[in-house]
Amino acid sequence: MKIRTQLLLAMAVLSLGSFARADDKPATPAPAADIGKGLAQHDFLYAGEARDRRVFIIRNGQVAWSYEEPDGKGEISDATLLSNGNVLLAHQFAVELISPEKKVLWRYDVPKGSEVHTAMPIGKEHVLYIQNGPEPMLRVVNIVSGEIKKQFPLPVKNVKSTHGQFRHARLTTAGTIMVAHMDLGKVAEYDSTGKELWSIPAPGCWGVTPLANGNILITDPHGVHEVNRDHQTVWEVTKTDLKDYKLSNLQLAWRLPSGNTLLNNWVNEFNGKIDTAAAPLQALEVTPDKKVVWTLRSWAAPVNLGPATTIQILDQPTSPENVTFGDIK
């Protein structure tokens, strides 16, 4: 009888333990197992919106080059490695072109009350950037002469809400530009005169990547969506598809030559220190059938990459400056 009573009590305790009390804090989910070769999976450029404005170039699994912007303000939202080794940065309050020797070759300081979160090279002499603020605009500058070659206003939902207007834009092979209107919840295509040619509703859109097949990759908080010109979603990968991984904030995505899709997973370190022991993935690569073939998690020595926003794969020689915008090339 005594043994039976003890057994019943033990079962009751176990039963009670299976119900979380209202004041219990949920356990932090353990990170899913890493897949692939870590830093050695690809050569890549890496930067992210973080307290420290750092950029890395990883080759053969090692840091081949790094740069820390010393200004002490802003966050890197966009970074591009040119074929000559220069790196173009947009870090909220400035746009800079940095040489491999870490010399500032050109710099634009953003006016007070405005921000720049996306910039792209056009050839070796021009830079295109989008400026958030009370007068939101797209501008192309000749960085040799300082001349403004093109400029036109862009529509926003609220001119007083500077930070939330734009994050990402990219030029197409047709010489137009795709812009993610974050506050308007749409992606729009413009020609070099500022005329809107095409748009699609995209609530929460952060990133936009034109594809070689004419489709567009759009990244929002829920996932990455490939849409065509008829407004049809032809492929997507969502957080639900990747439920084995703790994904917080997707910002950008890229289609790789293999057909796989690479997406970043940004983590906000401005609201508190990141627990590196349980740190989330910084990026992952999925096949067309949504199988994960690479996960990037590098939060501690020897390489702490920090939060991820933009990644440029460098497995093959690349010339991202070989683009046009209207007659500018």
Q: Determine the average pLDDT of the residues in 30-44.
A: 86
What would the 3-class secondary structure string for 76-140 be? Answer: CCEEEECCCCCEEEECECEEEEECCCCCEEEEEECCCCCEEEEEEEECCCEEEEEEECCCCEEEE
120-168, pLDDT tens digit by residue? Answer: 999 999 999 999 999 999 999 999 999 999 999 999 999 999 999 999 9
Query: Which residue in 123, 127, 66, 122 sits closest to 94, CA to CA?
Result: 127
What would the 3-class secondary structure string for 19-36 be? Answer: CCCCCCCCCCCCCCCCCC
Query: Which residue in 170, 151, 160, 102 sits closest to 132, CA to CA?
Result: 160
Residue, of 267 and 97, whose pLDDT is higher: 97
Token pair 């070759």 is found at 105
Q: Determine the average pLDDT of the residues in 83-99.
A: 97
Percent of the chain with pLDDT over 90: 81
Six-digit token pair at 126?
Answer: 């021009």
pLDDT at 324: 98
pLDDT at 31: 52
pLDDT at 32: 62
164-209, pLDDT tens digit by residue? Answer: 999 999 999 999 999 999 999 999 999 999 999 999 999 999 999 9
| Calpha distance 285→238 (Å, rounded) | 13
Superfamily of the domain at 42-313: TolB, C-terminal domain (2.120.10.30)
How many other β-carbons are positioned within 10 Å of the β-carbon of residue 323?
20
Sign (positive or negative) of CA dihedral 220, 222, 224, 227: negative
Token pair 């209202």 is found at 22
Average pLDDT, the chain: 90
Domain boundaries, the chain: 42-313
Query: Which residue in 317, 310, 327 sits closest to 120, CA to CA?
Result: 310
Cα 153–chain centre separation: 24
- Among 24-38, 94-108, 134-148, the least confident range: 24-38
